[in-house]
Amino acid sequence: MKNIYLDQNVLGFIAEGRLSIKPKEPVRLIFSNEHLKEIARGDRTEILDVLRNLKAQRLWIKLDSSQRITDDWVIDKYIDPEQVYFEHQESESNAVIKPDAVTGIIATLFGSQDRSVIKDYPNEIAKTVGSSLRGIPWLDDAVVKGLEELLKNTGDETVRLLSDYQPLEMRRKALGFNKGQASQFSNSDNPLRDLWKHANAHFPAAITAEQFYGFDCMYKENFGYEKWPIFLGVATCYNLLNAIGFRPDKGLADSSRVPANISDAYHVAYAALCHGLVSADTKMCEKAMAIFKYRKIGCGVVNISEKLKAKR
């Protein structure tokens, strides 16, 4: 059985009638929780009908007893997508930290010079966590207030550290990548290998290529990991390639684009657990192919963008 992961844009084109896919055994079409997040974010519930017609099945990552991501994963038997969607929405509503709380921080890390996107972060993160903790009956209000103050102080320090963060172009230059230069490595037979050689020659560092790309996170112990899961490694590497300018996604420093760009990283990480990835996003495909080549991940990548253009 071959597991084929469909990017969100593929499902969107099917919903719009611009594309038709007829799965045949031994092919199993796969989606993930990241699709469900995008459906909710864009109010694209018609995509649930597409998943139903395709008899698509969800792949999910197993968590350990401390809710950490593992290298184990499962593909559910077929369940109606609407049921899966509403169960996921209920689970998301119980999350303590909402993704919107950190989009400004991520945009700043990707070079945003608009400091207004992070000015509310300390208060928002403290308020969000505090409101969740207040729902615990046995937790004293003084303890909650103390934790809120701690989070606000930590948030203030984070904002202070980011206030002098350089634009992305300047940080890329330190690694020897002028505008558009990193993307030129897409013609290499192993882009990540050659990107590392180039960066390390311009800015020698006491780290390995695996650490540079995020496959071996240098701070994994801080997150409770002895070994960094491949899922997180692929997602981290995707974001790193964006950061250095290798076929970068649009609007990296735009806080409104952060959720979509982070979703792309997770889609590629899920696809790494499958036999194939189908997408109409050329830049995503090129980053995915480079990552899979470097890590010797047996996932093929099919870019259908030209097929869609030919149908116009």
Residues 16-52 as b/e (b if ≥16 CB within 10 A, e otherwise) read eeebebeeeeeebbbbbbbbbbbbeeeebeebbebbe
Question: What is the number of other CB atoms lying within 10 angstroms of the CB of residue 145?
Answer: 14
Task: Report pTM.
Answer: 0.85
Contact 252, 222 (CB under 8 A): no
Q: Identify the burial level of 62 via C-beta atoms within 10 angstroms of its C-beta, where 0-12 means exposed, 13-18 middle and 19 or more buried.
A: exposed
Question: What does the domain layout of the chain look like in residue ranges?
Answer: 114-162, 168-273
Rounded-to-integer distance, Cα 252 and Cα 286, Å: 17
Cβ contact 255:30 at 8 Å? no
Dmax (CA) for the chain in angstroms is 64
Q: Smallest Cα–Cα separation from 32: which of 285, 236, 267, 279?
A: 267
Would you state the pLDDT for residue 251?
85
pLDDT per residue over 295-309, tens digit each?
999 999 999 998 777
- Tokens at residue 195, please? 């990107």
**What type of residue is 254?**
D
Structure confidence by residue, pLDDT tens digits, 237-269: 999 999 999 999 988 878 788 888 899 999 999
Structure tokens at 4: 């084929």
Contact between 256 and 281 (Cβ < 8 Å): no
How far is it, in rounded angstroms, from Cα 246 to Cα 123?
35
pLDDT tens digits, one per residue of 1-16: 899 999 999 999 999 9
Residue that wins the pLDDT comparison between 273 and 151: 273
Q: Identify the pLDDT of residue 104.
A: 67
pLDDT reading at 125 higher than 60: no
Cα–Cα dist 302/173, whole Å: 32
User: Residue 118 corresponds to which amino acid?
Assistant: I
Give 204 or 123, the one with higher predicted confidence: 204
Residue 22: pLDDT band (50, 70, 90) is confident
Are 227 and 257 spatial neighbours (Cβ–Cβ below 8 Å)? no
Residue 301 confidence (pLDDT): 97
- Cα atoms found within 13 Å of the Cα of residue 114, Cβ hemisphere only: 12
Residue whose token pair is 């509310």: 120
Alpha helices in the chain (DSSP H): 8-15, 33-42, 46-54, 81-93, 103-109, 121-133, 141-162, 168-174, 191-202, 209-213, 230-244, 258-271, 282-295, 305-311
Structure confidence by residue, pLDDT tens digits, 73-122: 999 999 999 999 999 998 877 665 556 656 766 777 776 766 666 666 56
Is residue 202's pLDDT more than 60? yes
